[in-house]
Chain A
Amino acid sequence: MKQAEQPGSVGEGLKQRGITRREFLKFCTAMTAMLALPPAMASVMAEAISKARRQSVIWLSFQECTGCTESITRSHSPTLENLIFDLISLDYHHTLQAASGAAAEHARELAMKGNEGKYLLIVDGSIPLGNPGYSTIAGISNYDMLLETARGAAAIVAVGTCATYGGLPKADPNPTGAVSVGDIIKDKPIINVPGCPPIPVVMTGVLAHFLTFGNIPELDALGRPKSFYGETIHDRCYRRPFYDQGKFAQTFDDEAARKGWCLFKLGCKGPVTYNACATTKWNDGTSFPIQSGHGCIGCSEPNFWDAGPLYKALSMPVSATAAMLGGAAAAGAAAGVAITWHNRSTKAAAKAAHEKVTVQELMREEK
């Protein structure tokens, strides 16, 4: 990316690109609404962003599938192009940068030096601790690169369930010893933006918040921004009324499924999944998994891969079987028979030991 030609502030850049103030305010209004901020904050946001220098961002990809990057390229408000050209200076990103090899690493080092303590570090993918050779970039292990790059970062945004909680690589039996960013970095503010992948506008929304306020949004106990992860999919689902009425699809292609009834019985994990899919939706607000007929798999929750079968209802046991109960009944019955035998032999022994006493004997004792 050609640093010299970039304008100093975001506002200048917008002007150069012919973006009117009205358009920019519209964007800021959408962002404030999405971040659940008061409407008056839109103009504050516009002011802050337009004055801000473009934020230097370093994006590191570790054990991941590039799904998070694929997702963010589908962001519609702001688009990734808007973000890169107007709001941030994306100084390093494997997939999106033109440079490769030593030149790419040089760009990362340059950005780190030039923005010491100010750049924003975005990480997707988990970090393998089992063996440094499991995942390397330019001969540097993921662990070393994370430590080195995190040192001068103002804050870290972990995107995707792999970076936030270990994700698929960490799923049992976790062959690479995968851990999350938060498991390694303890001395920097970390914003977790989980999801497999995360919703594009949630990723860009979090970046917009950081650019506007220079700080991290309010987070929940799992480090997620409350504005996006404050409520469960189930509570905001448009199919929720069917759940409450007891109307459920039994299979994916029955009449009830066609009518759009609740997918709880088909294994929907919406009740225990905190994310904004049901409200912001995907692909420019087009749809989300439940709307397209598939239950939520809970992809933004830690260890969701190991949280029981995806197609078993949440209220079903994870591993209990009828055979197991049969075995327990047989064992209980056997124990019951043993106790009965014990009771009866005690009774028989008491009967055998019983000595009869005659009236004469009692009368003799009285004398």
Chain B
Amino acid sequence: MNHLDLLTFARGSALNWALIIFVAGVALRLFEIFGLGRKADLARPRTDSPGSGWRTIVTRSLPPEGMLKREPVTYIGGFVFHIGLFVAIFFFAPHIEFFRSMTGLGWPSLSSALVDASVVAAIVALAVLLAHRLNHPVKRLLSTFGDYLAWTLALLPLLTGYMAYHHLMLEYTLMLAMHLFSVELLLALLPFTKLFHTFSVFISRWYNGDIFGRKGVAS
């Protein structure tokens, strides 16, 4: 199997299976989570706080007062990584073509240089966050295999994409195939790892805000 054959496989059957597992997995997890249900809350809300859930989606996404000073690496690193990843996924022209082919929707792309810079920022942020996780006693204690797995799955597509674009280490076609395989690994495992927060993060923030609002607790 030559490099182009490998790339064709990565764009073909391998991608199909990864997408099937990803979509089915996400649907399964969402139904499972929503299907858990909650007992009807018969008590009258402590405070009349409409929109508490929606507000919390925003407030929990920003550092509370003083926390940015106490945990600058976690907050800044987290933001840089997530924004960098978002820009790379949704604003690189070839990626938009992928979404257009699957959904029919297209939007303007950013220049390669800007996407490149955001990828570098995301990779650096991931490296710093890992170093911090390993050096911070509390973070290290709290970390499990799942955290390191999620870190690796997020890093590989960024790294292989960067190396393919810059023709580093492997021949371009082969590296592009590796990039696709790393994305496929990410897609297949995302619904079943901590990376599922991609879909659940705002749902859980809304729920927390809403339930605390009803109980009269600031959130």
A binds B: yes
A interface residues (Cβ-Cβ under 8 A, vs B): 221-222, 232, 235, 243-246, 248, 264-265, 271-272, 298, 301-304, 306-308, 312-320, 322, 324-325, 327-333, 335-337, 339-340, 343-344
Who on chain B is nearest to A245 by CB? Answer: B111
Report yes or no: A332 in contact with B173, Cβ–Cβ below 8 A.
no
B95-133: CB near A (< 8 Å → 1, else 0) gives 101100111100011111100000000000000000000
Report yes or no: A336 in contact with B31, Cβ–Cβ below 8 A.
yes
State A312–B112 Cα separation when bound (angstroms). Answer: 20
Report yes or no: A315 in contact with B98, Cβ–Cβ below 8 A.
yes
Report yes or no: A316 in contact with B98, Cβ–Cβ below 8 A.
yes
State A325–B101 Cα separation when bound (angstroms). Answer: 12
Give the chain A neighbours of B108 by CB distance below 8 A: 246
Given contacts A246-B109, A264-B93, is CB(A332)–CB(B2) below 8 Å? no
Report yes or no: A313 in contact with B35, Cβ–Cβ below 8 A.
no
Closest 7 CB pairs of A and B: A336-B31, A340-B35, A332-B27, A332-B24, A315-B94, A318-B12, A328-B23
CB of B194 closer than 8 Å to a CB of A = no
Give the chain B neighbours of A221 by CB distance below 8 A: 171
Report yes or no: B11 in contact with A308, Cβ–Cβ below 8 A.
yes
Stretch at the interface among B14-22, B75-83, B146-154, B202-210: B14-22
Give the chain B neighbours of A339 by CB distance below 8 A: 28, 31-32, 35
Select the residue from B2, B32, B109 with max chain A CB neighbours within 10 A. B32
B interface residues (Cβ-Cβ under 8 A, vs A): 2-5, 7-8, 11-13, 15-16, 19-32, 35-37, 93-95, 97-98, 101-104, 108-113, 167, 171-173, 176
Given contacts A264-B93, A315-B97, A317-B101, is CB(A244)–CB(B113) below 8 Å? yes
Q: Closest approach, in angstroms, between the C-beta of B39 and any C-beta of chain A?
A: 11
Given contacts A316-B98, A322-B102, A335-B24, is CB(A246)–CB(B19) below 8 Å? no
Q: Is the interface of A mostly helix, strand, loop or mixed?
A: helix
Report yes or no: B4 in contact with A265, Cβ–Cβ below 8 A.
no
Report yes or no: B93 in contact with A246, Cβ–Cβ below 8 A.
yes
Q: Closest approach, in angstroms, between the C-beta of A50 and any C-beta of chain B?
A: 39
Report yes or no: A317 in contact with B11, Cβ–Cβ below 8 A.
yes
State A83–B159 Cα separation when bound (angstroms). Answer: 49
Report yes or no: A320 in contact with B23, Cβ–Cβ below 8 A.
no
State A243–B94 Cα separation when bound (angstroms). Answer: 10
State A307–B25 Cα separation when bound (angstroms). Answer: 29
Q: Closest approach, in angstroms, between the C-beta of A195 and any C-beta of chain B?
A: 15
Given contacts A246-B110, A302-B2, A302-B4, is CB(A336)–CB(B28) below 8 Å? yes
State A331–B176 Cα separation when bound (angstroms). Answer: 31
Q: Is the interface of B mostly helix, strand, loop or mixed?
A: helix
Q: Closest approach, in angstroms, between the C-beta of B140 and any C-beta of chain A?
A: 34
22 pairs of residues in contact across A and B, judged by CB atoms under 8 Å: A221-B171, A246-B111, A264-B94, A265-B97, A272-B7, A272-B172, A272-B176, A306-B8, A307-B4, A307-B7, A315-B97, A316-B11, A316-B98, A316-B101, A318-B11, A324-B19, A328-B24, A336-B28, A339-B32, A343-B36, A344-B35, A344-B37
State A343–B33 Cα separation when bound (angstroms). Answer: 11
Give the chain A neighbours of B173 by CB distance below 8 A: 272
Given contacts A246-B111, A329-B24, A339-B32, is CB(A320)–CB(B4) below 8 Å? no
Report yes or no: B172 in contact with A325, Cβ–Cβ below 8 A.
no
Report yes or no: B112 in contact with A243, Cβ–Cβ below 8 A.
yes
Select the residue from B25, B27, B95, B104 with max chain A CB neighbours within 10 A. B27
Who on chain A is nearest to B115 by CB? Answer: A246
Report yes or no: B16 in contact with A340, Cβ–Cβ below 8 A.
no
Report yes or no: B16 in contact with A324, Cβ–Cβ below 8 A.
yes
Q: Closest approach, in angstroms, between the C-beta of B111 and any C-beta of chain A?
A: 5
Given contacts A222-B2, A265-B97, A325-B102, is CB(A244)–CB(B111) below 8 Å? yes
Report yes or no: B24 in contact with A324, Cβ–Cβ below 8 A.
no
State A24–B176 Cα separation when bound (angstroms). Answer: 44
Report yes or no: B4 in contact with A332, Cβ–Cβ below 8 A.
no
Who on chain A is nearest to B177 by CB? Answer: A272
Given contacts A303-B4, A306-B8, A308-B8, is CB(A329)–CB(B98) below 8 Å? no
State A303–B6 Cα separation when bound (angstroms). Answer: 11
Report yes or no: A332 in contact with B26, Cβ–Cβ below 8 A.
yes
State A332–B93 Cα separation when bound (angstroms). Answer: 30
Q: Closest approach, in angstroms, between the C-beta of A284 and any C-beta of chain B?
A: 30
State A330–B26 Cα separation when bound (angstroms). Answer: 11
Which of the residues A244, A302, A317 comes within 8 Å of B102, measured between beta carbons? A317
Who on chain A is nearest to B16 by CB? Answer: A320
State A145–B214 Cα separation when bound (angstroms). Answer: 87
Given contacts A272-B176, A316-B97, A324-B16, is CB(A303)–CB(B31) below 8 Å? no
Which of the residues B2, B12, B37, B112 comes within 8 Å of A308, measured between beta carbons? B12
Q: Closest approach, in angstroms, between the C-beta of B189 and any C-beta of chain A?
A: 15
Report yes or no: B19 in contact with A328, Cβ–Cβ below 8 A.
yes
Which of the residues A248, A306, A312, A329 comes within 8 Å of B27, measured between beta carbons? A329
Q: Closest approach, in angstroms, between the C-beta of B148 and any C-beta of chain A?
A: 27
